[in-house]
Chain A
Amino acid sequence: MYNAPQPKLEDLPSKRQLRRSSIIAGIGAVFIGVAVYMPAELGQDPTGVGSLLGLTEMGEIKQQLKAEAAADAETHSELEPSLLDDILGLFVSSAYAQEAWQDSITFTLEPGEYTETKAIMEEGATLFYEWSSTGGRVNFDLHAHAGSDAVTYEKGRGQTEGTGSFETPFAGNHGWFWRNRDEEAVTVTLLLRGDYSAILSEEK
């Protein structure tokens, strides 16, 4: 029957061999669990092996992202902008000419830190931007979401500058999520002009 003959007992690994393999597998599983899985998933490194292999950083980033995702799900807003600033911005910024930069925003992020910069915009409005970083490279996600609408204009990793524009497909807050994954503090300067009513940016 089947594709195989009945294996002869003497061809098979002996019980002693199997027991020895099981013990090795058990020890291996415990070692992998403590020395590899814990740092790589939880960011905890009781043996020091994880940090040696560069796995603890991965676990720390995963834990950080998990906590942020949970915080995001809980509250969809992280900052209460000053209403006065926004009302002023609403009237002041729309009066500027299109040629010159309307706003210049500078912020500094320590390694692992993040911030957001968003422009309040109507549907069909255009934003022009130019930014550069000093001290290191930065990750960004240029996006917007309002209700069920969502758009990602651009994502980047380890960049030091960027320039461009986008047109909004829906009204809402359009802009950047920035994070420093480099080793040193990074300072980003962002220049903006376009049809927006105000800029929201997180204070650091």
Chain B
Amino acid sequence: MSTRLALFILTTLLFSTSAALAHDVTPGDAGYIQEIWGVHIIPFIYLGAKHMITGYDHILFLLGVVFFLYHMKDVAIYVSLFAIGHSVTMLLGVWFGWGINAYIIDAIIGLSVIYKALDNLGMFQKWLGFQPNTKAATLIFGLFHGTGLASKILEYEIAPDGLLANLLSFNVGVEVGQLLALFVILIVMGYWRRNPNFLKQAAYANWIMVALGAWLTYIQIAGYITFPQQA
């Protein structure tokens, strides 16, 4: 064997082993889910609740929904409509694998925040001359929010073994997270509503929500234009 050949082999080996055995580890929640199989009810409830509480776009919409609601009966009706909406599309979406582009669905969720804030401001009455049904809107936007949740859960790649039980647990967790968030929102709103200037400040707050919704929509559309292929 010539020296040149020996050198070539050595170089090739050194080169190939340098990139050799590193494995692709996904850390965090997705990594955990990709490591397990079978039924894990409580961990999936936890993950669902965490998903909702850290999902600022869902929380912002929820804030918009309950902004002017202070009778517990109304709060319960609207929050249930939102929950029914997002449960339906979340469960069906994951079960049937409806992978919708995450940027597009998140842009729509951003629009839902704008819609609800404008609705709170009475802008549809002013601009269109009538009030679109607020309950129907809450349900319909709930369906969109559920599709967004489903798109993100699909990225988690939950094992087929135990999928339905884990998915239902996740959904229960989403509702638990929503109730926990709602509890805090209602306390803050409770204090705020007692303020005599509440309605005036509420107008500013809802215009800020319009701006936040527009910003969310903008970054999602920008993301879609930059990475159109990303699911």
Contacts and interface: CB of A to CB of B under 8 A. Distances in A.
B13 A87 contact: yes
Contacts of A42: none
Interface stretch (B85-93, B138-146, B190-198, B218-226): B190-198
B19 A12 contact: no
A157 B37 CA distance: 7
B121 interface: yes
Contacts of A143: 23-24
B32 A12 contact: no
Contacts of A11: 70-71
A3 B203 CA distance: 11
Interface string B199-214: 1001100000000000
B184 interface: yes
Given A143-B23, A145-B19, 13 more contacts: A1-B199, A2-B203, A4-B68, A6-B199, A12-B194, A21-B183, A32-B180, A77-B17, A143-B24, A157-B34, A157-B36, A177-B23, A202-B21
A22 B187 CA distance: 7
**Listed residue (B25, B70, B121, B193) with the most chain A CB atoms within 10 angstroms of its CB:** B25
B13 A157 contact: no
Q: A interface, by DSSP: helix, strand, loop or mixed?
A: mixed
6 contacts: A40-B50, A65-B32, A77-B21, A79-B20, A80-B17, A116-B23
Interface in A108-160: 114, 116, 118, 120, 137, 139, 141, 143, 145-147, 150, 155, 157-158
B24 A145 contact: yes
Interface string A54-96: 1101100110011011001001111111010011001000000
Q: B interface, by DSSP: helix, strand, loop or mixed?
A: helix
A116 B21 contact: yes
Interface stretch (B39-47, B96-104, B106-114, B147-155): B39-47
Contact of B27 (A21, A28, A65): A65
B188 to A, nearest CB: 9
Nearest to A178: B23
A187 interface: no
A194 interface: no
